[in-house]
Structure 1
């Protein structure tokens, strides 16, 4: 008979593997969207909409999927969710027009809802003092974005973008089979502990939920948005090829996904608030410098000549700052869900669903806003100006509700824990 510890670790491993594949599928338009945009002659805004379309359905589905997980358990919901994406992924290769790609992207995006089911499924297998670390390991499946950045560009160059959906559909089908064979039903089987639909919806009125939504829209929404947009940014801003652009983008994507497990451990050790506070500060400082556009300054000299100064970040310094942002957001993604497991352990599925929805909507709206800002201003660093602004909003909100002296009810319990 399989021990409880073995079951727990196997469930964690298979759930993380499944989420990695789902995330790779969810963000694949960030890579294959570039040859599609060239083929169809898309504008920056149209490219942003195409790459963000899967993020929309993946985000909107997170709340209902989280509620289904609380009621029916993680294993069947997770398996059926992954299975439902196989056909839409496969059909992408036959799309010949922009609207067909947008419609199929909506169905492919269901893969993104795997987070809300997986995070609740994993959390219930672990005691509270280890939930942060376990959820951090599961969340490291975000590194699926790096998997896409490594694999998809090579497939595009060798076989064309149409070959990528074929490979991903097969990978998803194999993942479903492995997941079902090597996992078990949730440890909570007592129907008396299942929250009612009314109770699930009632918890959404808690002001802490809205605050955690804002935090997650930055650390996760920003991560998804940049995962989709960075390859195109490096191609356009620094003139590199698609393979090198995707490889350099992975310096942000991979650490931000993998380090989430360490962020979970730090959140268990030092508290969700402390980790979130410092990750927001670190990312805000880096984004401030990244937002500065390439600038040419012409100065009149005393001898009647001119002195020209070119100001801006080269690709290496920019990538170094990007790496720091990725690490900070990796910690933040874990710490936000530590907040949730501490405050809403009975309704973790529905709360993680709504917070995940907010983060996903950030990942949907930001790429479109990136494209619109570039189309309107012609300045690509406006992408990071926007991200800096939303990060500052989170810092102000966190100070006002959790750190402000004599904040009273504004502390909302979160700050006291850390």
Structure 2
């Protein structure tokens, strides 16, 4: 078997050098590095590759699930702070919701390069353990109502560590799967992470209530044993790929490709909307419909997370660009009906509109990410060109994930500005409708328009 991505010395282990029970070419004495990896080889994938890839995918999903949970923890803690004795303005509340997304988006850039530098298994263990910092810091400050707003901002910023996990996890998993199965694998990996947002919004209100009291510190402490379990699972089951290891400038080739930035802009509209709306949804419900006491905020992140792998699978079948365009169209319609719901104070219509918005953004997440390997392999004809394209695509995955996550900051700040200047959420929502329309047209013009350079490919 030959592969263009063999980067190790000839005396290192290969896929045929270990017993079948180890499920692949690992070298435990060297930190579980796999030196030869070719998922595009049908025989290798059938006999060895698929089993190894699945073994790495499961703990990756769990670690990313916890990363998203910690990242989104302030979205559900903020609406509870008043009951815990904190006195914050509306603008301050939106800052606490938005800042974790800003930090998480920024951290996704170095996290993208962590996999080539340190190995996917190694970095998954480290990045999981780092989640102990925001979890314990949250548990400490929420017990002290006299804590300054600046300190609250600092602790909220630590939650951004959970947002960085996504970039390294997606980049790592992209190396394990063949092109034909990347959409489903990346969709499942991302959906597992996205579900963390829904899980924390469902679990925290249940965990922090004790009789007639409120134990908000449990919103942080609940993560400690789970984080330790995730780190152990990654250490025990995952592998590092030599084929993913390389200088940052190799992965950084994606920076010089204009499609990296086009796709990043599209990802602001899909993933940025998902994480932004997920962050503000509990606060929007409480402020716009205070008479509604049911805990339904988690439903948005839940349906959006479930929709993500379906978006990837639809993209595998119909093309990522076509599915992304459909997602933007549906998002624009759902946002418009949300405006109508606010004007008529119709809670059912408001909830339904946002659930459709979450489904469309979730499906768009998977579809947009599925476009990346297709775009980067376009025009690659030789094994060496294919190898370079795969690494550039992995770099784009990390960069797009970082840029897209800034939407999680822009949407809460957009709502805050709209509330401050107009006393209403409508201007922000109409702005989002215009952005979705622009991004949908951009997707069509670059990837589907007749005569466009990539129109002949299934992007």
* Shift in CA distance, 398/348, structure 1 to aligned 2, threshold 3 Å: closer
SS in 1 for 2:222: helix
Q: Which runs of 5+ in 1 are unaligned?
A: 296-311
The structure richer in helix per residue is 1
CA RMSD, Structure 1 to Structure 2 (Å): 2.0
* CA drift at 1:412: 4.5
1:177 to 2:225 alignment: no
What is aligned with 1:64? 110
What is aligned with 2:259? 208
Offset from partner CA, 1:182-205 (integer Å, 9 cap, x none): 22223xx25xx7454333334212
Could you tell me how far apart the structure 2 residues matched to 1:215 and 1:139 are?
Answer: 17
What is aligned with 2:181? 130
Could you tell me how far apart the structure 1 residues matched to 2:458 and 2:63 are?
Answer: 32
SS in 2 for 1:239: coil
Could you tell me how far apart the structure 1 residues matched to 2:69 and 2:427 are?
Answer: 27
Could you tell me how far apart the structure 2 residues matched to 1:374 and 1:123 are?
Answer: 41
- Provide the TM-score with structure 1 as the length reference: 0.88
Aligned equivalent of 2:416, options 366, 371, 380: 371
What is aligned with 1:2? 22
* Shift in CA distance, 152/341, structure 1 to aligned 2, threshold 3 Å: same
Offset from partner CA, 1:399-418 (integer Å, 9 cap, x none): 33234444xxxx35267324
Q: Contact (CA 8 Å) 2:324, 2:443: kept in 1 or not?
A: no
SS in 1 for 2:297: helix
Aligned equivalent of 1:353, options 378, 398, 407: 398
* CA drift at 1:37: 5.0
* Shift in CA distance, 403/182, structure 1 to aligned 2, threshold 3 Å: closer
1:223 to 2:274 alignment: yes
SS in 1 for 2:457: helix
Could you tell me how far apart the structure 2 residues matched to 1:94 and 1:382 are?
Answer: 37
* Shift in CA distance, 13/93, structure 1 to aligned 2, threshold 3 Å: same
Could you tell me how far apart the structure 1 residues matched to 2:245 and 2:219 are?
Answer: 41
Q: Contact (CA 8 Å) 1:85, 1:111: kept in 2 or not?
A: yes
Larger relative contact order (Cα-Cα within 8 Å, sequence gap ≥ 6) = 1
What is aligned with 1:290? 338
* Shift in CA distance, 210/174, structure 1 to aligned 2, threshold 3 Å: same
Q: Contact (CA 8 Å) 1:56, 1:109: kept in 2 or not?
A: yes
* Shift in CA distance, 415/109, structure 1 to aligned 2, threshold 3 Å: farther
Q: Contact (CA 8 Å) 2:252, 2:392: kept in 1 or not?
A: no
Aligned equivalent of 1:103, options 151, 154, 160: 154
Task: Compare 272-281 and 34-43 and name the one that shifted more.
Answer: 34-43
How many aligned positions are there?
391
Could you tell me how far apart the structure 2 residues matched to 1:347 and 1:73 are?
Answer: 17
Q: Contact (CA 8 Å) 1:219, 1:330: kept in 2 or not?
A: yes
* Shift in CA distance, 194/178, structure 1 to aligned 2, threshold 3 Å: closer
Offset from partner CA, 1:215-250 (integer Å, 9 cap, x none): 1111111111111111111111111466x2xx3222
1:265 to 2:285 alignment: no
